[in-house]
């Protein structure tokens, strides 16, 4: 099956899957303060380490995870893996929105499932919730929405070329959502939007 057809089908599957319902808060979403507080609660329940908990407590107060905190969390994660005998390194990548994302790469070596388990343990202890919040917090979403707005002409031209009607007043974000509804991930890709 050609890739675009597969992607279109996958999106359609998910569109359909919503009919089965899912757990959690429905579409109305949640306030950003709840997002930070919920992450802190989850982190405490799942064994996050003291340093990560401190970062999350600060985030609840500040309503933001700084890049410095995200970098430190990634470096702690790498150190944890290194201490466990794994060959790990700190890396950074940049999303299309311009968001710089601290992270790691780690070799499994010959460790197999034990190495996988250790990698997960270090991630959970040192950075999992900090990393998630950093990439999904309001300022990160704003950055990608700003990019979507910049790409509004590209999105509109692509959707129009595919025969999909676009409302004249539709914003870039509206056109991203329309692209998702219409399974036109190729239009998102053309606009440089590789995640959402």
Binding site for other proteins (CB under 8 A): 1, 3, 6-7, 9-32, 35, 38-39, 74, 77, 91, 101, 103-109, 116, 119, 123, 127-128, 131-133, 135-138, 141, 144, 177, 180-181, 194-196
Torsion of CA 110, 111, 113, 117, to 10 degrees: -150
Residue nearer to other proteins on the CB measure, 26 or 163: 26
Handedness of CA 177, 178, 183, 185 (dihedral sign): negative
Whether the Cβ atoms of residue 131 and residue 73 lie closer than 8 Å to each other: yes
How many separate helices (H) and strands (E) can be counted in the chain?
Answer: 10, 2
Which DSSP symbol is given to 137? S
| Smallest separation, CB 128 to other proteins (Å) | 7
Residue nearer to other proteins on the CB measure, 125 or 131: 131
| Smallest separation, CB 19 to other proteins (Å) | 6
| Smallest separation, CB 64 to other proteins (Å) | 12
Residue nearer to other proteins on the CB measure, 143 or 157: 143
Residue nearer to other proteins on the CB measure, 98 or 138: 138
C-alpha distances out from residue 30 to 34, 36, 117, Å: 6, 10, 32
| Smallest separation, CB 165 to other proteins (Å) | 16
Alpha helices in 3-137 (DSSP H): 3-17, 32-45, 50-62, 67-83, 112-126, 128-136
Residue nearer to other proteins on the CB measure, 53 or 145: 145
| Smallest separation, CB 191 to other proteins (Å) | 14
């Amino acid at each position: 099956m050609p890739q675009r057809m597969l992607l279109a089908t996958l999106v359609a599957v998910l569109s359909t899957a919503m009919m089965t319902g899912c757990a959690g808060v429905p579409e109305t979403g949640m306030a950003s303060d709840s997002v930070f507080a919920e992450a802190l609660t989850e982190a405490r329940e799942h064994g996050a380490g003291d340093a990560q908990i401190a970062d999350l407590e600060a985030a609840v107060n500040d309503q933001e995870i700084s890049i410095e905190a995200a970098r430190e969390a990634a470096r702690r994660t790498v150190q944890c893996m290194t201490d466990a005998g794994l060959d790990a390194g700190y890396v950074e990548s940049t999303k299309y929105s311009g968001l710089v994302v601290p992270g790691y790469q780690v070799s499994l070596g010959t460790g197999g499932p034990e190495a996988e388990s250790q990698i997960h343990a270090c991630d959970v202890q040192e950075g999992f919730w900090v990393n998630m919040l950093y990439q999904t917090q309001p300022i990160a979403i704003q950055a990608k929405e700003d990019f979507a707005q910049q790409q509004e002409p590209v999105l509109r031209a692509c959707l129009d070329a595919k025969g999909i009607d676009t409302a004249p007043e539709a914003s870039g974000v509206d056109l991203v959502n329309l692209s998702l509804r219409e399974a036109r991930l190729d239009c998102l890709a053309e606009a440089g939007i590789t995640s959402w």
